[in-house]
Structure 1
Amino acid sequence: MVWNFPIDITYKTTNAFGWPQLVVAVYGLDGFGRDVVKGYGCIHLPMCAGRYDLTLRLFRPRSASLLQSFTSWLTGMPAEFSDPKFPSYGEGREVTRVQSGGFVKVQVNIMTKDMDVFGYIDGSARDPSLTAITHL
């Protein structure tokens, strides 16, 4: 499916903690016409200005047991994350059982402004001496 709809988002901050991420949840119909999750994906947005073609690998949670898997199939309610932002969290993901669910291709245009004022180099510096941050 191609979704050619631009999204304009502006962030303003004085530090790079929690750099923006793109979190995607893809839903679709199962064999019985029920709306179920097909996959989740997450990727950090690039820090340098420019146009990027990104590929988000999708995954979906698996049931903990065969009985839960059968019950979720029967009721049409497969395992889902209770918090849709869960894929962007680092904590707790290492114990989550998942399976691959395909991929999503995203094209983003990144613009940065005044990062050098706060001591960050975004890769667009024209002066070669500005390509590394030096501390005195």
Structure 2
Amino acid sequence: MAELHILGQLQSVSNFRTPSSLFCRYSFQSGPNWTLVSGSPEGQTVSGKPDHNDSVVWAQPLDVHYITKGIQGWPKLIVQVSCLDSFSRSWIVGYSCCSLPAVPGHHSIDVSCWVPQATNLTDRIRQYFLGGSHQLLQSDLINLGLDRYKLQTESKGNIVLHVDIILRNFSQFGIEYK
């Protein structure tokens, strides 16, 4: 069987323009041809307050090992960035999906986040004074994007992802990479 090792870390987050602490829930999603051999396919980072550059360093380690019979359904990383205010309330402030590189080696990836936009004045006022944001009822919209074109979204901050991709036995299955 062909093997894929994903090693790395969710390094940091920046430009979310919030004084509240930020943390991230993440998960690896893959197709039916892929089997997780070791590692945790999901997790959560620590929470941290933004510094003077509006960034938070998480340095959350990632380590997963897959085996596969084909490359269809290549693993993706799904992230949800949340904030935690001084009243211990939390809400999601950013979503994103990152396709992982299919080329071995070290990769530094800038993952852009988005959030559903408040569509009327009442929602904007509520968000400004009470906090919170619109949240997705179906998380499949993040990685599949079936009806995502119907959403009005706004850009949020960026996550820096450092990842090392190790491929093994792919050439035995006729898969070449350059």
Which bracket does the TM-score occupy, shorter chain normalised? Answer: 0.7 to 0.9
Corresponding residue of 2:74: 19
Count of matched residue pairs = 123
Structure 1 residue 75 displacement after superposition: 6.2
Question: Given the alignment, which residue of 92, 110, 113 partners 1:58?
Answer: 113
Distance 1:97 1:32 in 2: 29
Question: Given the alignment, which residue of 147, 156, 166 partners 1:92?
Answer: 147
TM-score scaled by structure 2?
0.60
Q: Which runs of 5+ in 2 are unaligned?
A: 1-55
Q: Which has the higher contact order (CA 8 A, sep 6+)?
A: 2
Structure 1 residue 37 displacement after superposition: 1.2
% same residue: 27
Corresponding residue of 1:129: none
Structure 1 residue 108 displacement after superposition: 0.4
Contact 1:25 1:84 in 2 (8 A): no
2:165 aligned with 1:113, yes or no? no
| Larger relative strand fraction | 2
2:93 aligned with 1:49, yes or no? no
Distance 2:157 2:95 in 1: 10
AA aligned opposite 1:111? I
Contact 2:92 2:132 in 1 (8 A): no
| Larger relative helix fraction | 1
Deviations along 1:30-58, one digit per CA (max 9) or x if unpaired, are 58663121111111000011001000001
Bigger radius of gyration among the two: 1
AA aligned opposite 2:163? V
Range moving further from structure 2, 59-68 or 85-94: 59-68
Structure 1 residue 65 displacement after superposition: 3.1
Range moving further from structure 2, 95-104 or 66-75: 66-75
Distance 1:38 1:51 in 2: 29
